Structure 1
Amino acid sequence: MSEPKLKSVLCSSPAGLHRMAYKEWGDPANTNVLVCVHGVTRVGDDFDALARALSDRYRVVCPDVVGRGRSGRLRDPALYVIPQYVADMVTLVARVTAGAEDESVHWFGTSMGGLIGIGLASLPGSPIRRLVLNDIGPVLDPVAMARIGDYIGQDIRFKTFEEGAAYVRLVSTPFGPHSDAEWDKLARDVLVRQPDGRWALHYDLGLAAPFKALTPQQVAQDEARLWAAYDAIRCPTLLVRGEHSDLLSRATAEEMTGRGPKPKLVEIAGVGHAPTFVRADQIAIAREFLTG
C-alpha cells in the first residue's frame, strides 16, 4: 500500500492559533474514517502498524496532539488540558469528513487519547460511532498525576540516539514484550535531535504545567466530570486493559462495564500501561470490534 500523507490543520485556543499535524493512511476518498490518538508523551506514529493493517477498511487519521511531535506548541501551557484537545479534535474531524454525507468517525484512544475520546463521545451530536478505550478510565489518582507531571517536566538530553533509546525502553517497560526492532521504532518516534547534536524527547516541557497545578480537590472534581462524561456515552465501546496496568485498575474496568456505554472488556496478558497494538494479535482485537 502507499505510504501515509503528512498533513496539518489550523486550530484555535484562547491563546491564539496553532497547527496540529496528522498522518493520513489509506484512500483519501474513503469516507470510513478511523481516528487514532496517542498517550501523553507519545505521537501519532505509534499507530503506524495498526493504521497500515486497517487502511484496507478505513482512512486512518493519526494526529500528534498539540505540544507533541510535528504539531505546534501552545503559547499558554495551562491550556494543555482535555477540553482544548477535544476542541482541536472537533476541528480535525470537520477537516477529514468535509464534504462527506456522513460526518461520523470511529475512534481509538490510548491513555490520554482515550480521555479525549470520552470527552468527545459524551457530547450531544458527537461524531464518534465506535469507541476503543485503550487502558484508560475515569478514575484519576492524585499521586499518579503528580508523578506524571514530574516525569514529563524534566529536560532530559542524551548524547547519542542509543542512549535516548535505552531510556525510552526503560520507561516504557510496562508496554510489555517487544522485539529490538519494535523498541527501536518506539524510540525513533519520540526522540528528536537538537541543534547542539544531543537528543531529546519530542514534546513541549510545558505539558507538565497543568499536572503540577493540580490539587487533590481538583483531581476529585475532574474525576467526577469524567465519570459524568463516560456515563453519557451511547456508542458501542470496547475497553482494553493491560493485565498489569497501574493506571486502569481491574476494579475500575469492571465498574465501567456496568456503566455508561457498558463496554466489552478485553484484558491483554503480560502487559501493563499500555498495550501498543503493534502486534498482530492485538491489532486483530481492534479490527474485530471496529469493523463489527
Structure 2
Amino acid sequence: MGDGFSDFFYTSNDGLRLHARIYGNRQDDRPPVVCLPGLTRNAGDFHALALALSGNEKTPRQVIAFDYRGRGRSEYDRDWRNYTIATEAADISAGLTVLGVEYATFFGTSRGGLIIMALAAMRPAALKAAVLNDIGPVVEGAGLAHIRSYLENAPKPQSIEEAVRLQKATHGQAFSALSKADWERHTRALYRTENGRLTADYDPRLVKTLREIDLSLPLPAIWPQFEGLGGIPVLAIRGANSALLSAETFAEMARRHPRLEPITVEGQGHAPLLETADLPRRISAFLARAEKAAR
C-alpha cells in the first residue's frame, strides 16, 4: 500500500491473468467505485481521483481501478480480436465476482463508458450510479479517426520529459487548461519502463481493432444501451473541446435521461482529467446524492 493501493490479480474466463488496483477499504454504507479507463489507458489514470475518494476523511470510499486485458499489468491476449467491449465487460464482471462486489458506482472514461453500458445489460443490478467521462451513445467518426491516426503513428519518446513534450505538442490545443503538473501526471500513466526503455503501457495490436472500423460511414448509435442506464443517477462529463462527444449528443443525453447531471469542462478535450477542474469535489457531491437517493 505504499502508493495508496494494493494490487489485485485474477483470472479471466479464458485464462488470462488480469489486474486491478484497490484503494481503501469496503464501506458498509457506501458502495465501492469501479473505474474503467479508455482504449489504451490503464488504472493509473484514476490514481489521483482514487486517492481523493478513498482518503476522504468524512466519506471514504473503496475504489477499484481495472486494467483491461492488454493494458497496464494485465496479460496481453494472444489474439487481438479478443480486445472487444463485450469481452472486456465479461472480464470486469468476472473480477467483481471474485472480489465479492454485488453492486457499485461505475466510472467510465471513453471506452470505459461503453463497457458500463454493456454491463448495464449484463448485470443491471450491479449498477447503482454511473459517471460517463466524455462518452455517449454517438461517437463522432472524426474523433475516432484522430485517435486511430495517433496510435498508428505513435511516437517513441526516450524519456518521460520528451513524452510530456510530445503529448503537449499533439494535444495541447484541446487541453489549454492543463498545468505542467497535469501534463506530467497524465503522461506518466501512459508509459512504463521496460529494460531501461520507456514504452507505451498497452498492446500495440490494439490499433488493429480500430482498423476494422469503416470510418467512411457514420458509426452506429447505441441509444438503447444508453437508455439502459435510465434507472440510475448518471453524471456525464464532457470536455468542451471534445472531438469524440459532440455538444448535440451531450444535450440529447440530458434530454433523454431524467436523472442525468451534465458537466462541461472548459479548456479540455477528450477526455477530461478527472482530478482537475474541481471534478473531485463535484464527483463526491454526486456520489453523496446518489447514495442518499438509494437509501
TM-score (norm 1): 0.87
- Deviation of 1:134 after TM superposition, in Å, equals 0.9
2:292 aligns with: none
Q: What is the 5 A alignment of 1:54-203?
A: 54-55=53-54, 56=56, 57-97=60-100, 103-123=102-122, 125-154=124-153, 156-173=155-172, 174-195=174-195, 197-203=196-202
Gaps of 5+ in 1: none
Whether 2:19 is the aligned partner of 1:18: answer: no
User: What code does the residue aligned with 2:95 have?
Assistant: L
Runs of 4 or more, structure 1, over 4 Å off, are 28-31, 216-219
Q: SS state of the match for residue 20, structure 1?
A: strand
- Deviation of 1:268 after TM superposition, in Å, equals 1.6
Distance 1:199 1:291 in 2: 40
Distance 2:106 2:51 in 1: 16
Distance 1:261 1:75 in 2: 43
2:204 aligns with: 205
1:266 aligns with: 263
- CA RMSD between the two structures: 2.3
Give CA-to-partner distance per residue, 1:66-106, whole Å, 9 cap, x none.
211111111111121111111111112212335xxxx1100
- Deviation of 1:9 after TM superposition, in Å, equals 1.7
TM-score (norm 2): 0.86
- Deviation of 1:176 after TM superposition, in Å, equals 4.4
Q: Alpha carbons of 1:241 and 1:38: their partners in 2 closer, same or farther (altered >3 Å)?
A: same
Distance 1:229 1:117 in 2: 9
Distance 1:110 1:120 in 2: 14
Does the 8 A contact of 2:142 with 2:243 survive in 1? Answer: no
1:236 aligns with: 233
- Deviation of 1:280 after TM superposition, in Å, equals 6.5
- Deviation of 1:261 after TM superposition, in Å, equals 5.7
Q: SS state of the match for residue 289, structure 1?
A: helix
Gaps of 5+ in 2: 290-295
Does the 8 A contact of 2:140 with 2:245 survive in 1? Answer: no
- Deviation of 1:206 after TM superposition, in Å, equals 1.0
Give CA-to-partner distance per residue, 1:226-269, whole Å, 9 cap, x none.
22211222211111111221111110001111225651211122
Q: SS state of the match for residue 209, structure 1?
A: helix
User: What code does the residue aligned with 1:278 have?
Assistant: E
Q: Alpha carbons of 1:204 and 1:5: their partners in 2 closer, same or farther (altered >3 Å)?
A: same
- Deviation of 1:171 after TM superposition, in Å, equals 3.4
Does the 8 A contact of 2:21 with 2:66 survive in 1? Answer: yes
Distance 1:141 1:135 in 2: 11
Q: Alpha carbons of 1:125 and 1:282: their partners in 2 closer, same or farther (altered >3 Å)?
A: closer
User: What code does the residue aligned with 2:51 have?
Assistant: R
Aligned length: 281
